[in-house]
Amino acid sequence: MQQLQDATDYLIQQTNSFVPAYGIILGTGLGALVNEIDIQYSIPYHEIPHFPVSTVESHSGKLIFGQLADRPVVVMQGRFHYYEGYSMEQVVFPVRVMKMLGIQKLLVSNAAGGLNPEFNTSDLMIITDHINLQPTNPLIGPNKNVLGPRFPDMSEVYDENMISQAKQIAAANQLPVKTGVYVSVPGPMLETKAEYRYLTLIGADAVGMSTVPEIIAARHMDLPCFAVSVITDLCVPGKIQKVVISDILAAAATAEPNLTLLIKELIKLQSPPIAK
């Protein structure tokens, strides 16, 4: 808790007490939303006390403060993964800091492999539920009562109102949007064909290596959450191909304008921030 407070105090000082209403996490190859933000402060992760530093080349590693659709936001341009060697507490450290800074909702994006045969590359998938196959989670160990309860309910993880709004935005703008269940695995290797079959059998529509730890931490703190995957490769029989990071980044880049539009319009529909 002292480390969380140190980071929070530093950011309050560096941003002249900027209070964000919404937190946004941008996944692999999905950083262009930052271009839509009226940026007021941009702080590299390595300057923030106790903050992890992203080791993934496609993650910029900056915390952005500014206005998006006339709403005050804080944006993680680059996130952290368990496979980088961080503990789960380190992976979710920024989410907890954003909550302490004042965010009232969390929006998350990621790049994912499509397990559903109806999906195509560069589709967007609004996440309606998830399956956690990470080897641990950020709530293991003594509970931090100041953050949330020992046994947080997870029956409604993703905010139904924001999901409904996102569907309406997609329909109005003819965006190729699907809905489905996201499964989070440790990585960093991609899955075998047998593992893809297994993940499909247990009910997943898309697979990735992030998001669920951050969502668990956010729901522990009672933050409403919205999440969306960009389908960057296909994981169904007959469509599986060897994947390299350049292919994933190219698929994410194709989807990026649609993702940017969806999140920007979704933020626009949210209520103005509630005064603390």
CATH no., domain 2-269: 3.40.50.1580
pLDDT in tens, 176-222: 899 999 999 999 999 999 999 999 999 999 999 999 999 999 999 99
Share of the chain above pLDDT 90, in %: 83
Cα 41 from chain centroid (whole Å): 21
pLDDT in tens, 69-111: 999 999 999 889 999 999 999 999 999 999 999 999 999 999 9
Sign of CA dihedral 116, 247, 37, 212: positive
Write the secondary structure of the chain as one string of H (helix), E (strand) and C (coil).
CHHHHHHHHHHHHHCCCCCCCEEEEECCCCCHHHHHCEEEEEEEHHHCCCCCCCCCCCCCCEEEEEEECCEEEEEEECCCCHHHCCCHHHHHHHHHHHHHHCCCEEEEEEEEEECCCCCCCCCEEEEEEEEECCCCCCCCCCCCCCCCCCCCCCCCCCCHHHHHHHHHHHHHCCCCEEEEEEEECCCCCCCCHHHHHHHHHCCCCEEECCCHHHHHHHHHCCCCEEEEEEEEEECCCCCCCCCCHHHHHHHHHHHHHHHHHHHHHHHHHCCCCCCC
pLDDT in tens, 36-73: 999 999 999 999 999 988 766 554 689 999 999 999 99
Residue 123's pLDDT is: 96
Domain segments of the chain as ranges = 2-269
What is the average per-residue pLDDT within 133-140? Answer: 96
What is the average per-residue pLDDT within 162-174? Answer: 97
What is the average per-residue pLDDT within 236-250? Answer: 85
pLDDT band at 243 (very low <50, low <70, confident <90, very high): confident
The model carries a pTM of 0.94
What is the average per-residue pLDDT within 223-233? Answer: 96
